[in-house]
Amino acid sequence: MNFDLVLKGARLATNPEAVVDIGIANGKIAAIAPELADAVAIEAIGGGLVVPGLVETHIHLDKSCIIDRCSIREGSLKEAIAETARAKRAFTEDDIFERARGTLERAILAGTMHMRTHVEVDPRVGLKGLRAVRELARRYRWAVDLSICVFPQEGLLNDAGAEALLVEACQAGADLIGGCPYADTQPIEHIARIFAIARRFDLAVDFHLDFDLDASWMHLDEVVRQTELAGYGGRVTVGHVSKLSAIPSGRQIEIARRLAQAGVAVTVLPATDLF
């Protein structure tokens, strides 16, 4: 078989003692064997470990590298959202693109090949973030699969114009839609409307959820309920869910089973540094 590229002298995590060649054809691994030839190009690995590309499931490229534009005194989530809201009023598409590009390039150089980035859409920033990150995805598609989840960081029903902008973003080609119910004055209706938009455009959903350590209440149950109501199992993700770290392990196991049954995936981010 003729290969476009052969990586010679590689080691795999499944059998690190063996040295093999990896043959690539049409952009895919076509063969793994001790000795492969007939390649357009050969790259000597020298016994280096070859592993699958890294996957980043939750990042915010549009507001990366803005710590110098924010004034943090309390260290609270409310303050962080407010400072970001103030800073993003001055965002331009070029500014977002350049900051995001630096972050994305560092991720690629560290081995990231798949990434989901959340992009804020609201009356303050409009669709600038979506347009900038879509261009970034186009330019770097040779190195990374970048999917864009648009969402209203500062709420939906309490932020006039945000819902219309989310719909416009979906019409413009966003890959997913997200929600942030803890930032809204009507969190349950917020969740319902995000699901409604998702169904309208046949998009998967990724919620920012339960981002504090008060385990006396959670929106997770409502997301699970509406996932099942919409028949959206396997198409819903929740991120942060820091409350899970503040409940007993037995209850955590119950919730994990419930999430698995409903088909809701979880990206857990620690909240230790924020609370």
pLDDT-derived band of residue 212, with 50, 70 and 90 as boundaries? Answer: confident
Give, as one character, the DSSP assignment of residue 237. E
**Which residues, in sequence order, are CB contacts of 205 under 8 Å at separation 6+?**
176, 177, 178, 179, 194, 195, 198, 232, 235, 236, 237
**Residue 55 CA: distances (Å) to CA of 97, 108, 118:** 21, 10, 14
Q: What average pLDDT does the structure give for the chain?
A: 93
Is pLDDT at 275 greater than 70 in this prediction? no
Residue environment code for 201-219, b if the CB has 16+ CB neighbours within 10 A, otherwise e: eebbbbbbbbbbeeeeebb
Is there a contact between 203 and 176 (Cβ–Cβ < 8 Å)? yes
Helices 220-230 and 249-262: crossing angle, nearest 10°? 20
Closest Cα partner for 12 from 45, 54, 57, 59? 45
**Fold (CATH) for 3-50:** Urease, subunit C; domain 1 (2.30.40)
For domain 54-268, the question of CATH label 1.10.10.10 is answered with no
C-alpha–C-alpha distance, residues 15 and 17, integer Å: 6
pLDDT average, residue stretch 44-60? 93
Is pLDDT at 274 greater than 60 in this prediction? no
**What are the pLDDT digits (tens) for 126-157?**
999 999 999 999 999 999 999 999 999 999 99
Is there a contact between 225 and 253 (Cβ–Cβ < 8 Å)? no
- Fold match flag (3-50 vs 54-268): no
Is there a contact between 148 and 119 (Cβ–Cβ < 8 Å)? yes
Predicted local confidence at residue 109, as pLDDT? 95
C-alpha–C-alpha distance, residues 39 and 22, integer Å: 11
pLDDT average, residue stretch 162-168? 98
* Residue ranges per structural domain of the chain: 3-50, 54-268
